[in-house]
Protein backbone atom coordinates (compact mmCIF):
# COMPACT_ATOMS: atom_id res chain seq x y z
CA UNK A 1 0.00 0.00 0.00
CA UNK A 2 1.37 3.39 -1.00
CA UNK A 3 1.32 6.34 1.35
CA UNK A 4 0.87 9.81 -0.11
CA UNK A 5 1.77 13.04 1.60
CA UNK A 6 -0.87 15.67 1.00
CA UNK A 7 0.19 19.29 1.03
CA UNK A 8 -2.08 22.33 0.85
CA UNK A 9 -1.90 24.04 -2.54
CA UNK A 10 -0.59 27.33 -1.13
CA UNK A 11 2.20 25.49 0.68
CA UNK A 12 3.09 23.59 -2.49
CA UNK A 13 3.18 26.84 -4.50
CA UNK A 14 5.36 28.52 -1.87
CA UNK A 15 7.74 25.57 -1.92
CA UNK A 16 7.90 25.62 -5.72
CA UNK A 17 8.54 29.38 -5.86
CA UNK A 18 11.21 29.14 -3.16
CA UNK A 19 12.93 26.24 -4.94
CA UNK A 20 12.81 28.10 -8.26
CA UNK A 21 14.30 31.24 -6.72
CA UNK A 22 17.06 29.17 -5.08
CA UNK A 23 17.80 27.51 -8.41
CA UNK A 24 17.99 30.91 -10.14
CA UNK A 25 20.27 32.40 -7.49
CA UNK A 26 22.70 29.46 -7.64
CA UNK A 27 22.67 28.82 -11.39
CA UNK A 28 26.28 29.15 -12.64
CA UNK A 29 25.51 31.12 -15.81
CA UNK A 30 29.14 32.04 -16.38
CA UNK A 31 30.38 28.47 -15.92
CA UNK A 32 28.22 26.63 -18.47
CA UNK A 33 29.55 25.88 -21.94
CA UNK A 34 27.32 28.03 -24.15
CA UNK A 35 27.95 30.72 -26.73
CA UNK A 36 27.25 34.41 -26.08
CA UNK A 37 23.76 34.32 -27.60
CA UNK A 38 22.71 31.31 -25.51
CA UNK A 39 24.22 32.87 -22.38
CA UNK A 40 22.17 36.04 -22.95
CA UNK A 41 19.03 33.99 -23.51
CA UNK A 42 19.66 32.01 -20.32
CA UNK A 43 20.16 35.18 -18.31
CA UNK A 44 16.94 36.70 -19.68
CA UNK A 45 15.03 33.49 -18.97
CA UNK A 46 16.30 33.31 -15.40
CA UNK A 47 15.56 37.01 -14.83
CA UNK A 48 12.02 36.52 -16.14
CA UNK A 49 11.57 33.56 -13.82
CA UNK A 50 12.88 35.61 -10.89
CA UNK A 51 10.65 38.59 -11.66
CA UNK A 52 7.39 36.79 -12.28
CA UNK A 53 7.89 33.39 -10.61
CA UNK A 54 6.77 31.81 -13.83
CA UNK A 55 6.88 31.99 -17.58
CA UNK A 56 4.37 32.47 -20.35
CA UNK A 57 3.88 30.19 -23.34
CA UNK A 58 6.10 32.60 -25.29
CA UNK A 59 9.04 31.46 -23.17
CA UNK A 60 8.83 27.75 -24.09
CA UNK A 61 11.79 28.02 -26.48
CA UNK A 62 13.93 29.61 -23.79
CA UNK A 63 13.00 26.87 -21.32
CA UNK A 64 13.93 24.28 -23.96
CA UNK A 65 17.36 25.93 -24.22
CA UNK A 66 17.74 25.92 -20.43
CA UNK A 67 16.82 22.22 -20.35
CA UNK A 68 19.28 21.41 -23.13
CA UNK A 69 22.09 23.25 -21.33
CA UNK A 70 21.35 21.41 -18.08
CA UNK A 71 21.38 18.05 -19.88
CA UNK A 72 24.69 18.91 -21.58
CA UNK A 73 26.27 19.97 -18.31
CA UNK A 74 25.26 16.75 -16.58
pLDDT of residue 56: 56
Total domain count for the chain?
1
pLDDT of residue 21: 78
Residue 4 counted as domain residue: no
Residue 1 counted as domain residue: no
Residue 2 counted as domain residue: no
Residue 3 counted as domain residue: no
pLDDT of residue 59: 58
pLDDT of residue 31: 78
Instruction: Provide the residue range defining the domain that includes 56.
Output: 9-73
pLDDT of residue 61: 65
pLDDT of residue 26: 83
Residue 37 counted as domain residue: yes
Counting as low any pLDDT under 50, the low residues of the chain are none
Smallest CA-to-CA distance from 49 within 29, 21, 71 is with: 21
Amino acid sequence: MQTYYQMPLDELCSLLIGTTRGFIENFPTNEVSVDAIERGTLRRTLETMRASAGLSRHDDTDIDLLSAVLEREL
